[in-house]
């Protein structure tokens, strides 16, 4: 298969490149350099440029497009809605329309398209985003659905080790625990996080299946940010001392976040024939991978098990 991956130098895109590159021909697109340990084919450019999109699509002629590039900073989206919609709605529309009609289009989207008033929402729940980021990503979903039926729209929330160019929240948390720097973790903000390697291995299995449509794919446990911090400290055998309890209501964040972003993954579990990994298992893999080169993180078995 020929697979085109956008956002290939980002947290998710790099892991997708490393995983799918084991058995397929992958071409990545990003505006930042490749940071993995194995060489890959990476085309550098701005995906907001229509002529660039046309030219890479015609050169790559992909069987599958995995669209990971996005404007992901929630507060930056709130400050500049026009840029958010350009990157998270217009860009995917342009890319999906330039994709060969028979190709599978995989659109990575977010738990942030829901209001956050209900725990463990299913794919049947009507979206009601509170933030510009959520609204722009939802618009991207609609553009993909309009352009092709051969799509996978995957709503998720993952953590992992990045290039280090932008510190991820899990990296920030681990560093704080390691250095004993005091941090506040919200006890009234819930999510279902998954380790990016587990996510990518499950995504690969879904792509190779005949299932198409909208899927929630994240971790098997709903936890607060405070629980997540405590459980990371325990898994890493580090002191939870630096973690204090806080409320998202008191944080003064620019974008009004949904407070419960947890997703039900029952549809994906049925499709994949496995249970999403619990938090301790994901954190164990995350911590074990800290010094492991990107290519070697993907060589182990798929996360999740039918008997979990």
Ligand X SMILES: NC(=O)c1ccc[n+]([C@@H]2O[C@H](COP(=O)([O-])OP(=O)(O)OC[C@H]3O[C@@H](n4cnc5c(N)ncnc54)[C@H](OP(=O)(O)O)[C@@H]3O)[C@@H](O)[C@H]2O)c1
Tell me which residues touch ligand X (CB under 6 A).
7, 9-13, 30-32, 46-48, 68-70, 72, 87, 108, 110, 137, 156-158
Shortest Cβ 16–ligand X spacing (Å): 9
Residue 65: closest CA among 17, 106, 110: 106
For ligand X, the nearest residue by Cβ is 10
Dmax (CA) of the chain: 54
60 or 87: whose CB is closer to ligand X? 87
| Beta carbon nearer to ligand X, 167 or 244 | 167
Nearer Cβ to ligand X (48/214) = 48
For residue 27, the minimal CB distance to ligand X (Å) is 13
**Smallest distance, Å, CB 59 to ligand X?**
16
Compute the least distance from the CB of residue 308 to ligand X, in Å.
22
- Minimum CB distance to ligand X smaller for 133 or for 212: 133
CB of 24 to ligand X, least distance (A): 19
148 vs 159 by CB, closer to ligand X: 159
Of 155 and 226, the one with the shorter C-beta distance to ligand X is: 155
Least separation in angstroms between CB 108 and ligand X? 4
What is the 3-class SS of the chain, one letter each residue?
CEEEEECCCCHHHHHHHHHHCCCCEEEEEECCCCCCCCCCEEEECCCCCHHHHHHHHHHHCCCEEEECCCCCCHHHHHHCHHHHHHHHHHHHHHHHHHCCCCCEEEEEEEHHHCCCCCCCECCCCCCCCCCHHHHHHHHHHHHHHHHCCCEEEEEECEECCCCCCCCCHHHHHHHHHHHCCCEEEECCCEECCEEHHHHHHHHHHHHHCCCCEEEECCCCCCEEHHHHHHHHHHHCCCCCCCEEEECHHHCCCCCCCCCECCECCHHHHHHHCCECCCHHHHHHHHHHCCCCCHHHHCCCCCCCECCC
Which CB sits closer to ligand X, 159 or 239? 159
Q: How far apart are CA 271 and CA 277, in angstroms?
A: 15
Minimum distance of ligand X from residue 264's CB (angstroms): 16
């Amino acid at each position: 298969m020929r697979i085109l991956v956008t956002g290939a130098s980002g947290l998710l895109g790099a892991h997708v490149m490393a995983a799918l590159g084991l058995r397929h021909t992958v071409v990545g697109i990003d505006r930042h350099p490749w940071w993995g340990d194995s060489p890959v084919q990476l085309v550098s450019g701005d995906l907001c440029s229509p002529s660039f999109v046309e030219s890479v699509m015609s050169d790559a002629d992909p069987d599958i497009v995995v669209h990971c590039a996005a404007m992901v900073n929630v507060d930056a989206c709130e400050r500049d809605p026009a840029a958010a919609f350009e990157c998270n709605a217009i860009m995917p529309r342009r890319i999906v329309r330039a994709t060969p009609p028979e190709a599978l289009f995989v659109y990575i989207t977010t738990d942030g398209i829901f209001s956050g008033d209900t725990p463990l929402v299913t794919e049947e729940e009507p979206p009601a985003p509170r933030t510009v980021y959520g609204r722009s990503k939802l618009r991207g979903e609609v553009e993909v659905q309009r352009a092709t039926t051969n799509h996978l729209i995957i709503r998720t929330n993952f953590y992992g080790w990045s290039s280090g160019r932008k510190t991820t929240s899990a990296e920030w948390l681990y560093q704080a625990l390691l250095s004993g720097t005091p941090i506040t973790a919200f006890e009234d903000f819930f999510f279902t996080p998954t380790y990016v390697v587990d996510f990518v291995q499950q995504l690969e299995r879904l792509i190779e299946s005949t299932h198409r449509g909208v899927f929630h794919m994240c971790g098997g446990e709903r936890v607060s940010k405070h629980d997540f911090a405590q459980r990371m400290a325990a898994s890493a055998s580090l002191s939870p001392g630096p973690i204090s309890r806080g409320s998202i209501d008191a944080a003064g964040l620019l974008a009004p976040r949904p407070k419960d972003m947890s997703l039900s993954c029952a549809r994906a579990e049925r499709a994949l024939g496995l249970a999403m990994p619990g938090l301790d298992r994901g954190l164990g893999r995350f911590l074990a991978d800290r010094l492991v080169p990107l290519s070697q993180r993907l060589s182990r078995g798929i996360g999740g098990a039918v008997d979990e």
